[in-house]
Structure 1
Amino acid sequence: MSSVTDFMNLSTMHHDNKLIAEYIWIGGSGLDLRSKARTLNEAVNDPRKLPKWNYDGSSTCQAQGKDTEVILQPQAIFKDPFRRGNNILVLCDAYDPIGDPIRTNKRSVAAKIFKHPDVIAEVPWFGLEQEYTLMEKSTKWPLGWPQGGYPKPQGPYYCGVGAEKAFGRDIVDAHYKACLYAGINIGGVNAEVMPGQWEFQVGPSVGITASDELWVARYILERVAEIAGVVVSFDPKPIPGDWNGAGGHTNYSTKSMREEGGYQVIQKAIEKLKLRHDHHMASYGEGNERRLTGCHETADIKTFSWGVAKRGVSIRVGRDTANEGKGYFEDRRPGSNMDPYVVTALIAETTILWKP
């Protein structure tokens, strides 16, 4: 008897050019991802030519009352690494029936900032580092940890190799290749400091594209882990105590920063970020105060700081940037559960548009 996998791998290309489009959107928590599929009669490469769709917002905590219909607007298309062939993943944002973005639609707000002429002129690049923890489904304890106990102290796990150091590499590698197949600009992966914790990087990508790619990369990770029977945690401090938390470090540069004299532009941008530190921290991920303690390669959440080649700071400037007098900097404050639309738009707004 054929296995389920045999049917999953069936091609639809020879049946009147029909294909499957998996519509993806962000749920009511602002972090949970939802999706459902529909059949299309022909290939579409432009998201503006895809049909709008809808879903029951009362079932995702995004609508209530008599009218619970939420409208999905396609925004980006990626190849589907699960169904493959000519099938696609469609990233959407959500609107109410009269056309206004719903409360959890942070993409709409970000799009307005990235469409501002001053922001467009600066061609902002973002490189997003997504840390996450793989957890056992039954115990919600990190993968590879003794059940109810703790592994050896941190030290051998960061970029580690071996059965006692790296846990879940098959999931990580499958996710990496699936993202490449999908067309996501994924830069790399590595094991992190806490055992069972990993990181992938998206970018550098221009403007809102980086956030679109990160959300779809998160979706693909959840799907790969679903197949493996493992839970993905984006909690910024999944295990209390002497263990590293999980961040969403955001690397950033503008056209002016990448040109001659860019280091002075970077310093002015950092000064603006300092003045709006509290505003940024309120938007950089729930529970982030459990991670930003001033320990484990973090700055204290209440204190803004920056430095060259330092990791226990709010903003890190790379050694190459300082030496060359131009380049990029890294905002180390965002937590792993940050919304990239919120974080990238806020950084661009503060450094380009905001006037102190």
Structure 2
Amino acid sequence: MIINTKEDVLKATEELNVKFIRLQFTDIQGGVKDVEIPVTQIQKALDTGISFDGSSVEGFVRIDESDMVLRPDVRSFAILPLNSKKGIVARMICDVYMPDGTPFEGDPRYVLKKVMKEAHEMGYTFNVGPELEFFLFEKDENGNSTTKPHDYGRYFEFAPTDLAEDIRRDIVLTLTDLDFDIEASHHEVAFGQHEIDFKYGDALTTADNVVTFKYVTRAIAKINGLHATFMPKPIFGENGSGMHVNLSLSKDGNNAFYDPDGKMELSDIAFHFIGGLLKHVNGITAISNPLVNSYKRLVPGYEAPVYIAWSGANRSSLIRIPSARKKSTRVELRSPDPSCNPYLTFAALLAAGLDGIKNKIDPADLYTEENIFELTACGRDDRGIETLPGTLLEASNHLEKDELLRNALGEHLHNNLLRYAKAEWDDYRIQVHDWEIKRYLNAV
């Protein structure tokens, strides 16, 4: 059923006998929030929106200016396959507004739409294809989550070693019911680790889909007595979970990164977009890798790229260009992880790429086809290859200094992201961890 208007929503709720509507949005950390309304309130929601207390949402507003309004995007209307016995439930993803009708500048969805509008004014549509990895863990006898993997399969393994084949199929079927175009599903490298890929789309639709994907995956895991986590590095010594993102621009219906006569069959637009990403990636990392735990994944030796360079098919580079060309020409950034807020991450990536295009930033000096993991520190220095920030604090310091990202995010979000990152780091810094107890308690 195609939904494009308010009338389409009203017709769908009646024909499908919908009883409740979940109005969803995200906080600055990417956490999904929702307000459930009975279907009797759907006309009000569509006409004027539904009010809520914004002061109770992390990073939104202060208590003295708490009134905010959710306005649903009718195109996001979908029936949730995981319905309760109380009646059919639909959901709509919402934009957040102030009571005077102006968009809330701290709404992550608004920030992405703002940067996409800038790209549109330059003639571009920004497309994103994410690859989300996640772990399935057992629960203990009390129903609490553990870090015991559900299976002990490895990359591309299948049953009986891969115990999650049917669970992944349930996730895929549920996502398909929600109009996802699933491209692949498989076991990943680590014990209990999996990946499901869906087709690329414009950045806003894709960000909405990332949020929905995580919700569905957790829900299906719960039904099967398991816990699904998108934590970047839950197990020491095993590969962490990433969210590689495939990026491209289209213009007049054509892939703007493809040039059959260009070097590597890439256009100048593609080279400059890469240049912008490399210039701003240190600050972007605070957004695309927002947890203290994110930096336990971003270390050499576990397939996570940490070296600021780009290449063709070389997977040791931060950015690589997959071999497909023509309509499939794209740039793959390999550092983001699935704990990020997809709206803010895509907005930051697009802003950086557009900066590269506007200022014709040349990334040629950072091109390599060598396996960077095998280079010595001196070898990397000779080639001018630096590393990504090693901690959330270091990344947030780069974000604080990046004026382009400050302008793209807006003061409100930029300041709140920094506040959260530094508070998270301080809380981590003062903890006494098990590693310290084991190492020092009897040694000093």
The partner residue of 2:166 within 158, 166, 170 is 170
Cα shift at 1:17: 5.3
- For residues 78 and 121 of structure 2, the distance between their equivalents in structure 1, rounded to whole angstroms, comes to 25
Cα shift at 1:332: 0.2
Which residue number in structure 2 is paired with residue 244 of structure 1?
A: 239
Is 1:317 aligned to 2:321, yes or no?
A: yes
Cα shift at 1:106: 1.2
Cα shift at 1:116: 1.9
Question: Residues 185 and 205 of structure 1 are in contact (CA less than 8 Å); yes or no, is this contact kept in structure 2?
Answer: no
Is 1:280 aligned to 2:284, yes or no?
A: yes
What amino acid is the match of 2:257?
Answer: M
Do the aligned partners of residues 336 and 257 (structure 1) sit closer, same or farther apart at CA in structure 2, a change above 3 Å counting? Answer: same
- For residues 172 and 60 of structure 1, the distance between their equivalents in structure 2, rounded to whole angstroms, comes to 32
Do the aligned partners of residues 259 and 90 (structure 1) sit closer, same or farther apart at CA in structure 2, a change above 3 Å counting? Answer: farther
Do the aligned partners of residues 307 and 90 (structure 1) sit closer, same or farther apart at CA in structure 2, a change above 3 Å counting? Answer: same
What amino acid is the match of 2:207?
Answer: S
What amino acid is the match of 1:263?
Answer: L
Which residue number in structure 2 is paired with residue 297 of structure 1?
A: 303
Which residue number in structure 2 is paired with residue 199 of structure 1?
A: 195
TM-score, normalised relative to structure 1? 0.79
Which residue number in structure 2 is paired with residue 73 of structure 1?
A: 71
Cα shift at 1:126: 0.9
Question: Residues 236 and 247 of structure 1 are in contact (CA less than 8 Å); yes or no, is this contact kept in structure 2?
Answer: yes
Is 1:161 aligned to 2:167, yes or no?
A: no
Question: Residues 218 and 229 of structure 2 are in contact (CA less than 8 Å); yes or no, is this contact kept in structure 1?
Answer: no
What amino acid is the match of 2:272?
Answer: K
Question: Residues 247 and 332 of structure 2 are in contact (CA less than 8 Å); yes or no, is this contact kept in structure 1?
Answer: yes
Per-residue CA deviation, residues 45-96 of structure 1 (Å, 9 max, x unaligned), is xx99465223444555455536644432213222322239975221124345
Which residue number in structure 2 is paired with residue 38 of structure 1?
A: 37
Cα shift at 1:115: 1.4
Q: Give ranges in structure 2 of 5+ residues lacking alignment.
A: 1-11, 251-255, 360-444
Question: Equivalent pairs: percent with the same residue?
Answer: 22
Question: Residues 19 and 39 of structure 1 are in contact (CA less than 8 Å); yes or no, is this contact kept in structure 2?
Answer: yes
Question: Residues 182 and 197 of structure 2 are in contact (CA less than 8 Å); yes or no, is this contact kept in structure 1?
Answer: yes
Question: Residues 145 and 227 of structure 2 are in contact (CA less than 8 Å); yes or no, is this contact kept in structure 1?
Answer: no
Question: Residues 55 and 65 of structure 2 are in contact (CA less than 8 Å); yes or no, is this contact kept in structure 1?
Answer: no
- For residues 81 and 325 of structure 1, the distance between their equivalents in structure 2, rounded to whole angstroms, comes to 33
Per-residue CA deviation, residues 215-257 of structure 1 (Å, 9 max, x unaligned), is 122222222223233222111111122x111001100111211
Per-residue CA deviation, residues 254-284 of structure 1 (Å, 9 max, x unaligned), is 1211454451332332222222221222221
Q: Between Structure 1 and Structure 2, whose CA radius of gyration is higher?
A: 2
Cα shift at 1:160: 0.9
Which residue number in structure 1 is paired with residue 349 of structure 2?
A: 347
What amino acid is the match of 2:239?
Answer: N
- For residues 133 and 105 of structure 2, the distance between their equivalents in structure 1, rounded to whole angstroms, comes to 26
Give the secondary-structure state (helix, strand or coil) at the position aligned to 1:121: coil
What amino acid is the match of 1:213?
Answer: N
Which residue number in structure 1 is paired with residue 214 of structure 2?
A: 218
Do the aligned partners of residues 271 and 82 (structure 1) sit closer, same or farther apart at CA in structure 2, a change above 3 Å counting? Answer: same
Q: Cα RMSD over matched residues?
A: 3.3
- For residues 82 and 340 of structure 2, the distance between their equivalents in structure 1, rounded to whole angstroms, comes to 26
Give the secondary-structure state (helix, strand or coil) at the position aligned to 2:266: helix
- For residues 15 and 211 of structure 1, the distance between their equivalents in structure 2, rounded to whole angstroms, comes to 29
Question: Residues 143 and 168 of structure 1 are in contact (CA less than 8 Å); yes or no, is this contact kept in structure 2?
Answer: no
What amino acid is the match of 2:51?
Answer: N
Cα shift at 1:162: 1.9
Cα shift at 1:22: 1.9
Which residue number in structure 2 is paired with residue 254 of structure 1?
A: 249
What amino acid is the match of 2:25?
Answer: W
Do the aligned partners of residues 327 and 72 (structure 1) sit closer, same or farther apart at CA in structure 2, a change above 3 Å counting? Answer: same
Give the secondary-structure state (helix, strand or coil) at the position aligned to 1:343: helix
Q: Give ranges in structure 1 of 5+ residues lacking alignment.
A: 1-11, 146-150
What amino acid is the match of 2:191?
Answer: P
What amino acid is the match of 2:158?
Answer: V
Per-residue CA deviation, residues 80-137 of structure 1 (Å, 9 max, x unaligned), is 2223997522112434545566686211111101112546622222101111112223
Which residue number in structure 2 is paired with residue 338 of structure 1?
A: 340
Superposition map of 1:101-120 within 5 A: 105-116=107-118, 118=120
Of 52-61 and 168-177, more deviation after overlay is shown by 52-61
Per-residue CA deviation, residues 272-299 of structure 1 (Å, 9 max, x unaligned), is 2222221222221223221111222122
Do the aligned partners of residues 65 and 344 (structure 1) sit closer, same or farther apart at CA in structure 2, a change above 3 Å counting? Answer: closer
Give the secondary-structure state (helix, strand or coil) at the position aligned to 2:241: coil
The partner residue of 2:310 within 301, 306, 310 is 306
Which residue number in structure 2 is paired with residue 235 of structure 1?
A: 231
Cα shift at 1:37: 2.5
